[in-house]
DNA sequence: ATCGTTGCAAAATCTTTGCAACAGG
DNA sequence: CCTGTTGCAAAGATTTTGCAACGAT
């Protein structure tokens, strides 16, 4: 704990250098936000706007354009992954190397993750059968989560 | 064949009325484009811009905004389905009621379709396990199609 | 001093909307 | 006729880019 002040600064700095990016203030701030999100476990998926707002809320001056640029750099560097749920805006999450798919609540936007080896296996087979060299895939399930269903039931009662 | 002239006009008109839409010129033209695409078998997935260009090419006057509006109406009416491959533009295809997923060539944009009962079944199980009431899903595989792989091989030779 | 990085404003892209003119039933 | 529909231009939303100022080595 006594090292925490140093530590909190060093970790993102090191991670950035590891992937060949200069450890600038905006990049460190943004990486920290992702790490916090990752640890807190819940809000892993963030949009450019989410990040921008959070930085502004912390009284950190930054341009929205910079957020976009940094996110692109992070994605290229393999630190984060970009997703397009729904239609509109892109969201990003830390790339911990462990692939997973998503189920998104159409009411509250909550995102849960899952993996299914059998589905993955079948995807590969399908690609082969259709003559494609598989590069990647995107599977998103959409539905209503437990909480929202409960709320809806209560609203009706 | 002798009825074809009448037939080509009546079919879209009837289909529009069936779903409660006035049979206006733009709507009929657009529906015809989808039907042609459906029959020709290949280019089933069209963007607003695709349709607009095709109409302009046929010397049919129409506003791009109208294309967007009509597409939205068709989707609401259940005539077509909207997809977001990649990130950028939406594409639409005729909704023939038979659900299928897609594999998209990342080089040429070609789209093939497939269904896998086992994948569908597992998706339902996953939703239940995570407490969601499943409303829908989107599965897209991305890769390089046979033709593009061949072209790439030839280019290297 | 140099080269990458930032911030801002402007541009780009895709889509939606306000409004007056128009057209189907 | 009457209401819905169209076309156009303008507005929106998201993301990218040009460029001058800035900053770390």
* pTM, full prediction: 0.87
- Of the residues A97, A132, A147, the one at which a domain ends: A97
Residue A135 has pLDDT above 60, yes or no: yes
In a shared domain, residues B1 and B67: yes
In a shared domain, residues A33 and A90: yes
What is the pLDDT averaged over residues B12-23?
94
- Give the domain CATH number at A116: 3.30.1490.190
Distance of A65 CA from C11 C1′ (whole Å)? 13
In a shared domain, residues B3 and B50: yes
In a shared domain, residues B12 and B49: yes
In a shared domain, residues A37 and A112: no
What pLDDT is stored for residue A42 in this prediction? 78
Structural domain boundaries, residue A149: 99-157
User: Dihedral of CA B62/B67/B73/B74: which sign?
Assistant: positive
What is the pLDDT averaged over residues B117-140?
97
B10 touches strand C (CB under 7 A): no
Residue to test with chain B: of A126, A149, A152, most B Cβ within 10 A? A126
- Of the residues A47, A77, A97, the one at which a domain ends: A97
In a shared domain, residues B79 and B114: no
- Contact status of A137 with chain B (Cβ, < 8 Å): yes
Picking from A27, A29, A22, A26, the residue whose alpha carbon sits closest to that of residue A8 is A29
Q: How far apart are CA B49 and CA A51, in angstroms?
A: 32
Residue B12 has pLDDT above 90, yes or no: no
Residue B9 has pLDDT above 50, yes or no: no
In a shared domain, residues A18 and A54: yes
In a shared domain, residues B92 and B73: yes
Q: Using CB atoms, which residue from A112, A133, A146 is nearest to B144?
A: A133
Q: How many domains does chain A have?
A: 2
What are the tens digits of pLDDT across the range A12-66?
A: 899 999 999 999 999 999 999 999 998 887 789 999 999 999 999 999 999 999 9
- Of the residues B48, B80, B97, the one at which a domain ends: B97
Paired tokens of B6 = 């009448």
More reliable by pLDDT, B2 or A126:
A126
In a shared domain, residues A139 and A127: yes
In a shared domain, residues B64 and B115: no
What pLDDT is stored for residue A10 in this prediction? 55
Rg of chain A, C-alpha, whole Å = 19
In a shared domain, residues B77 and B105: no
Whole-number percent of chain B with pLDDT over 70: 94
In a shared domain, residues A65 and A128: no
- Give the domain CATH number at A8: 1.10.10.10
Give the minimum alpha-carbon distance from A3 to chain B in angstroms, rounded to a whole number. Answer: 39
Q: CA B20, B24, B28: angle at the middle one, nearest 5?
A: 90
**Chain D bases having any atom below 7 Å from a protein CB:** 4-10, 13-18, 24
**Residues in CB range of B44: below 8 A, 6 or more apart:** B37, B38, B93, B94, B111, B113
Q: Using CB atoms, which residue from B84, B112, B141 is nearest to A87?
A: B84
């Amino acid at each position: 704990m006594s090292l925490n002040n140093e530590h909190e600064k060093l970790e993102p700095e090191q991670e950035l250098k590891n992937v060949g990016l200069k450890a600038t203030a905006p990049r460190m701030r943004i990486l920290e936000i992702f790490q916090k999100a990752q640890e807190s476990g819940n809000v892993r998926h963030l949009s450019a706007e989410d990040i921008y707002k959070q930085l502004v809320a912390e009284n950190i001056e930054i341009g929205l354009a910079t957020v976009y640029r940094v996110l692109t750099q992070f994605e290229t560097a393999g630190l984060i992954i970009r997703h397009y749920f729904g239609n509109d805006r892109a969201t990003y999450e830390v790339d911990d190397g462990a692939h997973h798919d998503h189920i998104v609540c159409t009411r509250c936007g909550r995102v849960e993750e899952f993996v299914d080896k059998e589905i993955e296996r079948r995807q590969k087979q399908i690609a082969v059968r259709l003559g494609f060299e598989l590069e990647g895939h995107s599977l998103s399930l959409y539905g209503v989560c437990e909480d929202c269903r409960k709320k809806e039931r209560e609203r009706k009662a």
